Structure 1
Amino acid sequence: MSNRCPILIAAAVSFACFSGLPAQADSTLRTFFNPQVYGKPVALCMSDRASCGKPTADAWCREHGFGEALVFERLLTADKSKVFRQIKCISREQAVAATAEHPESATP
């Protein structure tokens, strides 16, 4: 019985250490499905109508504590409004690290 005790303690400590990993991953990447502001879907274009798509998604991500939008998906509503169906945000540190690993995919 005494031989099992150290193994059980080691297993419990390992579980406690690894259980924190998903929470850390969630803080660097998050997908917002059907994002809304005051109960209304987020429009694809900002009020100036010149900034559409990526700039708007980036602004959404910055507003929610992330660095930029990694990807986004558009949706055309029944009344022909263009809104976001989803926005996947990434933290600034994660985006910089991803660019450093693959410099050929960096945007100017």
Structure 2
Amino acid sequence: MFPRFLVLIAAALTLSVSIAKADTATRTYFNPAVFGKPVALCMSDRTSCGKPSADVWCRDNGFAKALTFERLRTADKSLVFRQIKCINREATVAAASGEPVTATP
């Protein structure tokens, strides 16, 4: 059963990446979740919290990195993301080269 689970995860990630590759420069994910569970603020190593974790979420969803994020403390005292705003690769390159970015947030 374990190999099937890995195949399902890989298929879900592939589907989510292909759906998220939109023409927009940014996208804000409100209450991001994986399999119905909120995305934790820290990765499993407990040293990558906040921005590194948000960057991974954005990359997994077809964007280059996270621009901003908000934290939320749940009722059971765990820290999760309330929202993550991602930017795509083209907008990142344009911003780095000094070209005006025409996309609206």
Fold match (TM-score > 0.5): yes
Paired amino acid for 1:44: L
Matched with 2:80 is 83
What do residues 19-65 of structure 1 show as CA deviations (whole Å, max 9, x unaligned)?
A: xxxx73x2x21000000011000000000001000111000000000
Shift of 1:93: 1.7
Tell which has more relative contact order, 1 or 2 (C-alpha 8 A, sep 6+). 2
Where in structure 1 are there 5+ consecutive unaligned residues? 1-22, 103-108
Structure 2: runs of 5+ lacking an equivalent? 1-21, 100-105
Query: What TM-score do the two structures reach when normalised by structure 1?
Result: 0.68
1:66-81 equivalence runs, <5 A: 66-81=63-78
TM-score (norm 2): 0.69
Distance 2:32 2:40 in 1: 9
1:53 aligns with 2:63: no
| Distance of 1:80 and 1:101 partners within structure 2 | 42
Alpha-carbon RMSD across the aligned residues, in angstroms, is 1.5
Dislocated runs of 4+, deviation >3 Å: none
For residues 56 and 62 of structure 2, the distance between their equivalents in structure 1, rounded to whole angstroms, comes to 10
Over the matched positions of the two proteins, sequence identity in percent amounts to: 69
The answer to which structure has the higher helix fraction is 1
Give the corresponding residue for 1:44: 41
Q: Aligned letter for 2:73? A: L
Partner residue of 2:96 out of 78, 96, 99 = 99
